[in-house]
Each structure stands twice: as structure tokens, then as C-alpha cells.
């Protein structure tokens, strides 16, 4: 049994949830492309959405539905973003909610909608309508694998994670699935993530916990610096574990937040490692910044520098490109105080080249996973960000997506 199969088999859905994934024909490659999550109980839900000013129709509609409370289902299609399609796109998003609701016997406003795929191409809504009854009838406690596959686009593997914690005699399960491998940048990468839990928790505390977890996971990754029209992280809690409701200052609330962060961090790392054309997984640690905000600025600038990322792809420990990005990041710095390390080896001390032999630095950057540590030595601000290299394969993959789709290939 492969490690991937073992991981999928170990994933447990929280009590009261079922999921499914079917082939509707949107992708046209016989791969699953329509997913559904359903809670048998009422829920409290929250979500974080793209900060892009161009927002896909499902994002706009899901925001409205979320304000009504008691989301019972999530329907997701892959292969088409339903973005920049005008009124038809809005109508199709609503139709998507309605067909899911009709198949489940709930209200359309209780359905959360997501789409992912090519932008500016009409959503084949009839295919979703035709597949909706089959999607609902295939709901299973064991359906998380099919759901996680159905939301994939350019992903090479499905991304799932789960964690369990005990509150006395009550076992809480938190399970997630995510998709994304390109257009991934801080402040909601190009990705979708769905987290479900059977914890009993108030709406306000779930919102707070989600914000903390997202900031330290999905908002701390970068592959190519691009941001999508569809980015969404959605969390549902149905209380089926029957624990004492987690409220402000509850004894177990911090344990729940840490478990949620663990799941989201696991998923976010998987997103970076499966980035389009990625051969290096890099952890950027920025310490000693004047403020935490400055530390974020530095990590973001370095992670989005094409010159830096290309050097990593070639296993080149080019600290000059790193300090260049630090300098234009907008953070307060003093050149003579900046220290840069690849792993445990200094490449620059006090803004000048260190004495570490170049072969040691090259060997560190040649690893599939390594850490770049930047010490600013100005204060106590720090930030950690996960990113990748930039390869020829990334360029080749992204050269002709839209033209090929329009031409029917």
C-alpha cells in the first residue's frame, strides 16, 4: 500500500458529515470534477475569501449565503472558475446552489458554492444539474477521498489532513481537504480549502480560530506570487461531538485553535510542495524585524522574487538576490545589520559575504527542502513563510492554458 493510500485511509470524517465526488463532464477527461459535503446537523460556519477585487460569482454568492447562517452543504466544481462571466455567471452560481439543495432537501441559501479552473469561460451548468442527483446519492462517510479528488485542477495529488483531540470523554475530529498548485501567494493563495469538524463552538469563536489559523498557514505560503479570483477557506462545525460549547475563554478553546492550525498548516505545506513545476520546498524565517508587519514584508518580497526563486532552482546560494529583495521590501532595515543563512550556514554577516565555503552553501540549497533564515537584528518581529523555486516546467505548464481551452484541446 502506498504512503498516499495509507494517508487517505487514515482520514476520518467528523461525526455527522458525509462527502462525495463524481464525474460530471466539465473537465472532459473522465476525472472526478464535482464534489459535495453535507452535514446531517445544523452548523456554524465561517470562511476567508480572496482579497482580489475581481471575484468569481461563487465567491459573491457564498458570502451572501454565509450571512444567513446554518450552511448545510458545500458543492464544488473543478475545471471552470465561473469568473468574469457577467450575469450568466451569477445565475449559474445560483443554479448550482439550487440543484444541490433540491437533491438534499434543503434551502438554496444553505448551500456554499465554489468553483475552480479556467477564468472567463462559461460554466457548463447543465452538466452540474444532470450530475447533482448522483452526487447526493453517493454521499458517504468514506467519501472524503473522492471529494478531495473532485476539487483538483492542476494538482498532481489530492491534499487531505486530519487531527483529533480529546475534551474529557468527547473526541473532536477536524478534517480538511485543499486544492491548489499554481497562482499561490500570501493573503489567500489560489486555492480552495474545506475544513469540517464535529466540535460544538460558537460562531464568533469559530471565526476567531479560523482567522488565527489562516494567518499562520494559507496566508503564509507563496509559489508564484499570483492571487486568484476564487480563493476560499471554509470551515463548518456541527457540534456532533457533543462537547461543552467552546466559548470565549473556554478552557479547551486554545486546544481547538492549535488543532485547527495543525490541519491548515499541513494542507498549506502540501499546496506548496505540489506547486506547478516545484522542485524545492523552502521555509523562509525572518527574525529581528522592527515589527511583525515588517517581517511579513521581507518574507513576502523574498518569496516573490523571480531572481531568488530561479537561483534556488539552480541550487545557487545567491544571497545577493536575497538581500536585494530585503532592501526593496518596504520594511525598515539597516544593511550592515542583515545576516543571511542557508540552513545553519552563514552566507552573509552584517550585510557582507560570510566566510562559509561555497560548496557547503550549494549543498544546502541543492536539498529538496531547506530553510532560508534572515536576521534583521532590529527588534522582535518575526514571520515564517513557505515557498518554492521557479522552474522551466512552471513556464511550460502555464504558457497556453486559455488558448488550448478555447480551441477545444
Is residue 243 a contact partner of residue 199, using CB atoms and an 8 Å limit?
yes
Contact (Cβ atoms closer than 8 angstroms) between residue 191 and residue 81: no
CA distance 100 to 129: 8
For 250, counting Cβ atoms within 10 Å of its Cβ (0-12 exposed, 13-18 middle, 19+ buried), the class is: middle
Residue 12 backbone zone (phi > 0: left; psi -120 to 50: alpha; other: beta)? beta
* Catalytic residue (one of 190, 197, 356, 387): 190
DSSP 8-state symbol, 218? G
Closest CA to 233 of 188, 175, 265: 188
249 vs 35: CA distance, rounded Å: 36
Q: Cβ contacts of residue 51 below 8 Å, gap of 6+? A: 187, 188, 227
Q: Answer yes or no: 190 catalytic.
A: yes
- Residues with Cβ < 8 Å from 108, sequence gap 6 or more? 65, 94, 97, 98, 100, 101
Q: Which three cell numbers stand for residue 129?
A: 444539474
d(CA 275, CA 386): 12
> How far is CA 224 from its chain centroid?
14
Q: What is the spatial distance between Cα 116 and Cα 118, in angstroms, rounded to a whole number?
A: 7
Determine contact, residues 401/185, Cβ cutoff 8 Å: no
- Whole-number Å distance between alpha carbons of 144 and 382: 36
Using DSSP, state whether 134 is helix, strand or coil.
Answer: helix
Q: Which contiguous run of DSSP H or E holds residue 152?
A: none
Dihedral, CA of residue 15, residue 195, residue 88 and residue 106, to nearest 10: 20
Residue 273 C-beta-side C-alpha neighbours within 13 Å: 13
Q: Around Cβ 407, how many Cβ atoms within 10 Å?
A: 8
Distance CA 63, CA 69 (A): 11
Q: Which residues are catalytic?
A: 190
Amino acid at each position: 500500500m502506498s504512503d498516499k493510500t495509507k494517508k487517505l485511509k487514515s482520514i476520518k470524517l467528523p461525526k455527522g458529515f458525509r462527502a462525495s465526488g463524481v464525474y460530471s463532464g466539465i473537465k472532459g477527461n473522465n476525472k472526478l470534477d464535482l464534489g459535495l459535503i453535507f452535514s446531517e446537523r445544523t452548523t456554524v460556519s465561517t470562511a476567508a475569501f480572496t482579497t482580489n477585487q475581481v471575484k468569481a460569482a461563487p465567491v459573491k454568492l457564498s458570502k451572501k449565503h454565509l450571512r444567513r447562517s446554518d450552511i448545510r452543504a458545500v458543492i464544488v466544481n473543478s475545471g471552470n472558475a465561473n469568473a468574469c462571466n457577467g450575469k450568466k455567471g451569477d445565475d449559474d452560481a445560483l443554479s448550482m446552489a439550487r440543484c444541490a439543495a433540491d437533491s438534499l432537501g434543503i434551502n438554496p441559501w444553505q448551500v456554499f458554492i465554489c468553483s475552480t479552473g479556467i477564468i472567463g469561460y462559461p460554466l457548463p451548468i447543465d452538466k452540474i444539474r444532470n450530475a447533482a442527483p448522483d452526487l447526493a446519492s453517493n454521499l458517504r462517510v468514506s467519501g472524503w477521498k473522492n471529494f478531495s479528488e473532485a476539487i483538483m485542477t492542476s494538482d498532481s495529488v489530492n491534499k487531505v489532513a486530519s487531527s483529533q483531540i480529546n475534551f474529557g470523554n468527547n473526541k473532536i475530529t477536524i478534517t480538511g481537504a485543499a486544492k491548489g498548485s499554481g497562482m499561490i501567494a500570501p493573503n489567500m493563495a489560489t486555492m480552495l480549502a474545506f475544513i469540517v469538524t464535529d466540535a460544538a463552538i460558537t460562531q464568533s469563536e469559530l471565526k476567531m480560530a479560523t482567522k488565527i489559523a489562516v494567518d499562520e498557514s494559507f496566508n503564509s505560503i507563496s509559489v508564484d506570487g499570483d492571487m486568484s479570483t476564487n480563493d476560499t477557506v471554509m470551515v463548518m462545525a456541527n457540534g456532533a461531538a457533543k462537547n461543552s460549547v467552546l466559548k470565549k475563554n473556554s478552557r479547551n478553546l486554545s486546544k481547538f485553535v492549535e488543532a485547527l492550525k495543525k490541519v491548515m498548516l499541513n494542507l498549506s505545506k502540501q499546496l506548496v510542495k505540489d506547486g506547478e513545476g516545484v522542485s524545492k520546498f523552502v521555509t523562509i524565517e525572518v527574525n529581528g524585524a522592527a515589527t511583525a508587519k515588517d517581517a511579513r514584508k521581507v518574507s513576502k518580497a523574498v518569496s516573490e522574487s523571480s531572481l531568488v526563486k530561479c537561483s534556488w532552482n539552480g541550487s545557487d546560494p545567491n544571497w545577493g538576490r536575497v538581500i536585494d529583495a530585503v532592501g526593496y521590501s518596504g520594511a525598515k532595515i539597516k544593511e550592515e545589520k542583515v545576516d543571511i543563512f542557508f540552513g545553519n550556514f552563514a552566507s552573509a554577516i552584517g550585510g557582507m559575504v560570510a566566510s562559509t565555503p561555497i560548496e557547503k552553501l550549494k549543498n544546502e540549497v541543492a536539498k529538496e527542502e531547506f530553510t532560508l533564515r534572515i536576521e534583521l537584528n532590529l527588534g522582535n518581529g518575526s514571520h515564517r513563510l513557505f515557498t518554492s523555486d521557479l522552474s522551466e516546467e512552471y513556464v511550460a505548464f502555464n504558457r497556453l492554458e486559455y488558448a488550448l481551452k478555447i480551441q477545444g484541446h
